[in-house]
Amino acid sequence: MKLITSTLSCSRQGFVKTVKTGLLATVLAFSGVQAYALSELNVAQGSDPQNLDPIDTFRLSWGSIGSNIFEGLIQRGEDLQLVPGLATAWEFLDDNSRIRFTLREGVSFHNGEPFNAAAVKYTFDRLLGEQGQKGPQRSNYTSIGSVEVIDDYTVEFHMNQVDPVLITKLAGYGAMIVPPKYIEEVGEEAFDRKPVGTGPYQVVSYEPSVELKLARFEGYWNGTAKTELVNIRFISEPATRMAELMSGGVDISLNVPNTSVETLKKNKSVDLVTVGGPTVNMMRFKANSGITADARVREAMNIAIDRDAILNALLGGLGESIATAQGELSFGNDASIKKYPYDPARAKALLKEAGVAPGTDITLDIYNSDETFREISQVVSSYLGMVGLNLKIRANETNIMASDLIPNGKTGELFQFGWGGWTFDFDNTAYLLYHSGERFNPYINDAKLDELLEQQRATYDRDVREQALQQVAGYIREQSLELPLFNLATMYGVSKKVSGFVPAPDDRVRYMNVVVAE
Amino acid sequence: MQQLTFLSQRLLQAVFVTLAVTLFVAFAIRFTGDPAVMMTQESSNVTEADLAMIRESLGLNAPFHVQYLQFMGQLLTGELGNSFFRGPIKELIGSALPSTLLLAATSMVLSILISIPLGIVAAVKQGKWVDQLIRILSLTGLSFPNFWLAMMLVLIFSITFNVLPVSGFSGVASLVLPSATVAIVLTAVNVRLVRTAMLDVLSEQYIMVARAKGVKEFWVIYKHALRNSAIALITFFGLQFGNLIGGIVVVERVFNWPGMGSLALDAIAQRDYPLLQASVCILAMLIVIVNLVTDMAYSLIDPRIRVKS
Amino acid sequence: MTQQASSPEQKCRGETFQPKPILSVNDLQVQFGSTPVVDKVSFDLYRSRTLAIVGESGSGKSISSLAIMGLVKHLGAKVSHGSMQFESDLLGSVDLAQLPEEKHRIIRGREISMIFQEPMASLNPVFTIGDQLCETLMIHRGISKKQAQAEACQLLDLVRIPQSKRILGYYPHQLSGGQLQRVMIAMAISCKPKILIADEPTTALDVTIQAQILGLISDLQNELNSGIIFISHNMAVVSEVADDILVMRNSKEVERNSMEGLLAEPKASYTRNLLSAVPELGSMQGLEKPRYFAQYSEEQETLPERDLDKQVKYAEPLLEVDKLSVRYSVHDGFMGKISHYVHAAEQVSFAIYPGETLSIVGESGSGKSTVGRTIQQLAEPHSGEVRLDGENLFELPSNRKKLFSREIQYVFQDPYGALNPRKTIGASIIEPAWVHGLVRSKKQADERVAELLEMVGLKAEHARRYPKEFSGGQRQRICIARALACEPKLIIADEAVSALDVSVQAQVVNLFMHLQETQGIAYLFISHDMAIVERISHRVAVMYLGQIVEIGSRQQIFENPQHPYTQKLIASVPTIRNRKQNKSPEMSAEIPSVIRKIGDEPDVHEYVEVTKGHLVANHSPALTN
């Protein structure tokens, strides 16, 4: 009975009163008096978001947890389609300055608190207010001026400015609807550790960096989860994660390292499940100075590299080479833009034309934590060596790279850039990388790019936006402003006992329909 | 009374060491990265203004000495304050410290239980094949990186034979592999220490005297010699505790052991200043305390220190 | 084994038959690997008689005794040849060379027991005296712990340790060396052994204690009728205790005879050399100057005894020590407050003149080394002055102090620890000269090293070798060469020859005198060995409990000792000439402590001048008892 008391002691009295039968069953199961074995799914993922409050994090690791606990007004499924979530319908009013949402009725939070307009208003007031300032999510939603409650199941968003990506963003972390009463009762800190949402699973216990235990929420509005318990374990060491998967310690492992691809493919009890992801790998140029200020040099480097050869040799072919900083699923991708060909002869000619002497030294800055990219860099280095460029690789601490070298423009001629454009909207990537004055854009300052990027942000018109974004992509390709490499697949290691698992391109895995065979 | 003087001196020393360590850590971690950047690493649309806001809310805009003094103040009251991302540090350490201590103690005991008999055999059979074999094994043990050793053990016992869990902390079974990893590396060192300590003692005249009295060789070794080498060994083992903690940090990560090492590594990765400062401070104190206890134990065993002449 | 060394009859009074030896060693050979360390040695041991085995270090004398104990295998050696027939009461007549370990263990410690050289190292530091005494009793007699303790108490009484009951609970470090050796003896005789082996039992002890221990062993022999094998390097000691003697050298037997026989007519030149190298107290009677030892090589005398050919001028003193006191504080209590002082030296005054040797004699704890260390500025004085050429050492600016440390050099007791094993001896020798800027080039340094090496009787080409290639005596020569490198006016020699074998000791003493003759160096010679002091000194100061009790010329001290302590010291020294006449002094005397509470100042001696230059402390009656 020890476990019961400990479980109860971390909940508040108000919470206990409204405990649903489902949770009680769970509690009983933990106390060792269970009459039957509960179905259970064990998952491993590489890191712990450390804080389960949706507005306090931006980590992919939250996505695979939060998507099972929380819901937004809008939902985006594994197919990246936007569908009604807690809102059943929405309409743009007054020349797009207001958006009216009709809310779903009969939905309640895990603690029994009803979902209604007040909860929506509370969610966004909290996000845009003082509490939101402490976290990284707020900045994505500053286009929202205020939220007005029309009636219990109707709200209106008053917009500060046009935000074409808003609907997509409403499926994002920051817009996850949270329970006002519960937060007021238990406080922000307790909410970080044991949050309550409307999703198919509720938090049973959370031991930071160790394990999160989820139990099926019996009062879920949209069906019932097939597996009663989900244990998500945080295993930071990739080799250990894989060992757990192969030994049957976990049924599903996220964050499969590239080095394990071959092993998993050969393993008889595990499947490697992949899906095209949002992550693009590339190198960027110090485009405003040195030899890389010359577009010919940049183009020469781009065509000196055989992307597909690297992809097949180092990444097991799990991905696509790309022409611009986006994958095929991205809004704004222009399939007509040609990938860079592999043409070392022309590369040499271009370098000669630009007056670059053979044997010229250039430097590439990479993150020291990314073993795969280190290997890629070494191959790139030898390709560049073949056209007469001597590439030195400099590995840096993640933090130094992200908070000093890139923002302050202290990188070498080339630097690593990996980007997970979770919105699958090129704006999300392009504005950040090409608009002048952005933190991660220390070198490009181009009036034409600025204009195009600002233009597409000012309208909800998808055609106008798509055209502008495609123009941006075309311009970058034309000027060879960066060195795009691959759009990597998102990989999952899944036990053959598991059925009903749908890989999510954006890491927002949902376990509702997953079943583990005994 | 002299012991008390000694104790108070050592305590003072401990406080100083801990202070120096935390000051260094607090300074070094601020020099190498920004938690606000780490938080927003996977985000788009982050502006300098957003970062500034996050820094302000984390209290990072205050001058270094203010931040440090605030941390020390919390440390003195035993409150330890809050982690940037993970809530009260006291709770985090409260759950991590026992796990680390459990792993450390198990490994140490395991290693001592193995290394004492082996070391004695090696010393007694000095130069014989048994000694050579033990020395070769010990050298082999020393040359294993513990990361590699851990993965090998996992491969054999968890994946191939599937008898032990790979990682985590769920009962005695999950303690086996991590403590074996630490103990193997530790034993490789300890066997040599025991051997050397025993050889030193065995060459003492009182050992020959004991033999000359007609004492059985077994008792010469296990009573007369071991009790004396224990004095040296306790010091060795105590000093090793620092190394042990160092090894445990790596092993904790591999086995996903929810201890202080994992806590500190996570804190470094996220630049969670208060959490890192607190966990390093606790680890430093732990090492200092163990060394202190070692010294006290030493004086209990050695009558030359215990009994004032 | 046909030749009978001596007849044991006179000791076994009342016995009419020819007694059988209890131990008969025949052609014994012990090897380390293939190197023999005891080579064809034979001897017999009889009840109630003492056989001395004499030799210098490495002669194999200790290995022989360990072979009898059956313990050589623990040193990695083995008995390779010969027999050791022992008349055991338990096992009958057995050959110890062939005896299996289980049986040997029954005899060991019970019928044959052993006392070792270093009492401090012989007892296990982590067990109490009682535990260690009882262990033997319980192993061999099968008695209970309680009975054993009662018996241990009696044994301690037997070896005349007072408060035996309390001592049983003590740890070895709480006892003095003399007491520990008594405990060792108690342990050795606890089963009334037939044979008692005593391996250098008094070498590590002070001279007055030595006399007590020798007396004790001899008394116990009378009680137990044991046969004793007495191993020693010291002819004078041996001459006092032994009935028969075996001289060993380089693992081989040199000479075997009765003690009288050997003293009357030493056959081997080695034996003669050994005898002549023994500094005999009183041999200098009537002589004014220090005197060289005679030296023999193989057959003939190569260097005869002769006086030191140099006159000391007693005009301006080189070094004056004036009312020097040195105290070490003893901390106690929680705050580490000073509660006691060790009064290591108290109001010590003397002067050394150029080219003179002043010896300080005394036993451990007398403060003689403290005085030397303070002059060398290794210890801080509590009060008083040390003046070199009229300047006070403790009030000098540091640059002048450096000059002083050049002019006063030091030679230590342990030549092994004094040299850096990783440096060539040339580098070690010349190092202080570099420091003091006496040599300025490599070439100059090499020349100086060669010159110094020759000066101390070594060869110039030795400069490139490492300390491990040299014997103890050679190393001490190297240390002396290093001291000479600074062209000092004074060398402080602190027990500089104590750790050396007798013959080597004589050579090094000769070297000291030779250097004095040629270089005019003055010595402060600190030693516990009265006989050596008699040889080398112009003047002698006797220290006791941190104070000088008597000072005067060598003749004044040795031929007319006034202070009772001096008299006792001289009387305790064993001499060949007075063999078996020396009466061991009273048994209890341990030196009192020099640790005093704060404010409890010791009485400072006042001196009376007996004859010119001969000062004696006013002694309290307490000391004369």
SS3 content of chain A, % helix, strand, coil (to 5): 35, 25, 40
DSSP character for A173? G
The pLDDT of A159-164, averaged and rounded, is: 89
The total number of structural domains that make up chain A: 2
Cα-only R_g, chain A: 25
Residue C293 inside a domain? The answer is: no
Give the whole-angstrom CA distance, residue B233 versus residue B112. Answer: 10
- Tokens representing residue C58 in the block: 């490495």
CATH topology of domain B90-308: MetI-like fold (1.10.3720)
pLDDT, tens digit, for every residue of A328-375? 888 888 989 999 999 999 999 999 999 999 999 999 999 887 778 888
CATH number assigned to the domain comprising residue A227: 3.40.190.10
Q: Are C168 and C128 in contact (CB under 8 A)?
A: yes
pLDDT band at C388 (very low <50, low <70, confident <90, very high): confident
pLDDT, tens digit, for every residue of A46-67? 888 888 999 988 778 898 999 9
Q: Are A233 and B149 in contact (CB under 8 A)?
A: no
B159–A247 C-beta distance less than 8 A? yes
Residue A501 inside a domain? The answer is: yes
DSSP character for B155? I
Determine contact: A188 vs chain B, CB below 8 A.
no
Q: Which residues of A touch B151 (CB under 8 A)?
A: 239, 243
Q: What is the pLDDT of residue C202?
A: 82
pLDDT band at A9 (very low <50, low <70, confident <90, very high): very low
CB pairs under 8 A between A and B: 140
Q: How many CB atoms lie within 10 A of CB A190?
A: 17
Give the whole-angstrom CA distance, residue A288 versus residue A481. Answer: 10
Closest Cβ opposite residue A246 in set B87, B151, B159: B159
pLDDT band at C577 (very low <50, low <70, confident <90, very high): low
Lowest mean pLDDT among A170-174, C100-104, C597-601: C597-601
Q: Which residues of A touch B58 (CB under 8 A)?
A: 134
For residue C300, list its beta bridge partners.
Answer: C297
More confident residue, C297 or A127: A127
In degrees and rounded to multiples of 5, residue C549 shows phi and psi of -100, -20
A398–B41 C-beta distance less than 8 A? yes
What's the distance, Cα to Cα, between the start and end of chain A in Å?
27
What's the distance, Cα to Cα, between the start and end of chain B in Å?
13
Lowest mean pLDDT among A67-71, B41-45, B87-91: B41-45
Q: Where are the alpha helices (DSSP H) in C417-529?
A: 425-435, 442-455, 472-484, 502-519
Q: Name the E strands within A193-289.
A: 201-207, 211-216, 229-234, 252-253, 270-285
Q: Which residues of B touch A255 (CB under 8 A)?
A: none
Q: Name the E strands within C271-411.
A: 295-297, 300-303, 319-332, 337-352, 357-361, 383-388, 391-392, 408-411
What's the burial of C570, exposed, middle or buried (CB within 10 Å: 0-12/13-18/19+)? buried
Q: What is the pLDDT of residue C581?
A: 53
Closest Cβ opposite residue B44 in set A60, A237, A428: A428
Q: What is the pLDDT of residue C468?
A: 81
pLDDT at residue A99 tops 90: yes
For residue C420, list its beta bridge partners.
Answer: none
pLDDT, tens digit, for every residue of B160-203? 888 888 888 778 888 999 999 999 988 998 999 999 999 989 98
Q: What is the pLDDT of residue B141?
A: 84
Q: What is the pLDDT of residue A31?
A: 45
Residue spans of the domains in chain B: they are 90-308
| Percent of chain C topping pLDDT 90 | 25
Closest Cβ opposite residue B47 in set A247, A428, A439: A439
| Percent of chain C topping pLDDT 70 | 91
pLDDT at residue B284 tops 90: no
pLDDT at residue B47 tops 70: no
More confident residue, C272 or C97: C97
pLDDT at residue A450 tops 90: yes
- Tokens representing residue B58 in the block: 């984390």
The total number of structural domains that make up chain C: 2
pLDDT at residue C263 tops 60: yes
Q: What is the pLDDT of residue A35?
A: 47
Give the whole-angstrom CA distance, residue C161 versus residue C153. Answer: 9
B304–C125 C-beta distance less than 8 A? yes
pLDDT band at C343 (very low <50, low <70, confident <90, very high): confident
Residue A25 inside a domain? The answer is: no
Show contacts of C335-341: CB within 8 Å, 24+ apart.
C335/B5, C336/B2, C336/B5, C338/C598, C339/C597, C339/C598, C340/C595, C340/C596, C340/C597, C340/C598, C341/C595, C341/C596, C341/C598
Give the whole-angstrom CA distance, residue B239 versus residue A394. Answer: 37
Residue A464 inside a domain? The answer is: yes
pLDDT, tens digit, for every residue of A409-435? 999 999 998 877 677 888 888 888 899
Closest Cα of chain B to C193: distance in Å?
11
Q: Name the E strands within C514-589.
A: 522-527, 539-544, 547-553
Q: Are C200 and C499 in contact (CB under 8 A)?
A: no
For residue C560, give Cα distances in angstroms to B68, C547, C620: 78, 20, 19
Q: What is the pLDDT of residue A425?
A: 86
Q: What is the pLDDT of residue C332?
A: 58
pLDDT, tens digit, for every residue of C226-241? 999 999 888 888 888 8
Q: Which of C65, C124, C174, C338 to mutate against chain B (most B CBs within 10 Å)?
A: C124
Q: Give helix C145-158 / helix C129-141 axis angle, nearest 10°.
A: 110
Residue C174 inside a domain? The answer is: no
Which of residues C220, C252, C276 is at a domain's end? C276
Q: What is the pLDDT of residue A478?
A: 92
pLDDT band at A3 (very low <50, low <70, confident <90, very high): very low
The pLDDT of B3-22, averaged and rounded, is: 77
pLDDT band at C492 (very low <50, low <70, confident <90, very high): very high
Amino acid at residue number C446 = D
CATH number assigned to the domain comprising residue C254: 3.40.50.300
Q: Cα torsion for A416, A420, A421, A424, to the nearest 10°?
A: 130
- Tokens representing residue B56 in the block: 């302000």
Residue A303 inside a domain? The answer is: yes
B205–C122 C-beta distance less than 8 A? yes
- The top-scoring range by mean pLDDT among A255-264, B174-183, C368-377, C429-438 is B174-183
Looking at the structure, do residues A106 and A182 belong to the same domain, yes or no? yes
State yes or no: ipTM above 0.90: no
- Tokens representing residue A71 in the block: 């819901």
pLDDT, tens digit, for every residue of C299-315? 555 666 777 777 778 88
Q: What is the pLDDT of residue B286?
A: 85
pLDDT at residue A198 tops 70: yes
Residue A352 inside a domain? The answer is: yes
Q: Are A126 and A132 in contact (CB under 8 A)?
A: yes
Helix, strand or coil, per DSSP, at residue A374: helix
Looking at the structure, do residues C264 and C347 belong to the same domain, yes or no? no
For residue C603, give Cα distances in angstroms to C346, C546, C618: 9, 11, 11
Q: Domain range holding C209?
A: 9-117+194-276
Q: Domain range holding A427?
A: 276-489
B42–A208 C-beta distance less than 8 A? no
The pLDDT of C459-464, averaged and rounded, is: 88
Determine contact: A193 vs chain B, CB below 8 A.
yes
- Tokens representing residue A226 in the block: 């097939």
Residue B285 makes CB contacts below 8 A (sequence gap 6+) with: B14, B18
State chain B's mean pLDDT as an integer. Answer: 83
For residue A273, list its beta bridge partners.
Answer: A492
Report the residue of chain B nearest A421, measured CA to CA: B44
Determine contact: A233 vs chain B, CB below 8 A.
yes
Of C45, C53, C64, C46, the residue nearest C231 (C-alpha):
C53
Q: What is the pLDDT of residue A14?
A: 35
pTM of the complete model: 0.72
Classify the phi-psi angles of A238: left when phi > 0, otherwise alpha if psi is within -120 to 50, otherwise beta: alpha
Closest Cβ opposite residue C334 in set B4, B204, B205: B4
State chain A's mean pLDDT as an integer. Answer: 87
pLDDT at residue C11 tops 60: no
Give the whole-angstrom CA distance, residue C293 versus residue C296. Answer: 10
Residue A2 inside a domain? The answer is: no
Looking at the structure, do residues A361 and A425 belong to the same domain, yes or no? yes
CATH number assigned to the domain comprising residue A443: 3.10.105.10
Looking at the structure, do residues C210 and C334 belong to the same domain, yes or no? no
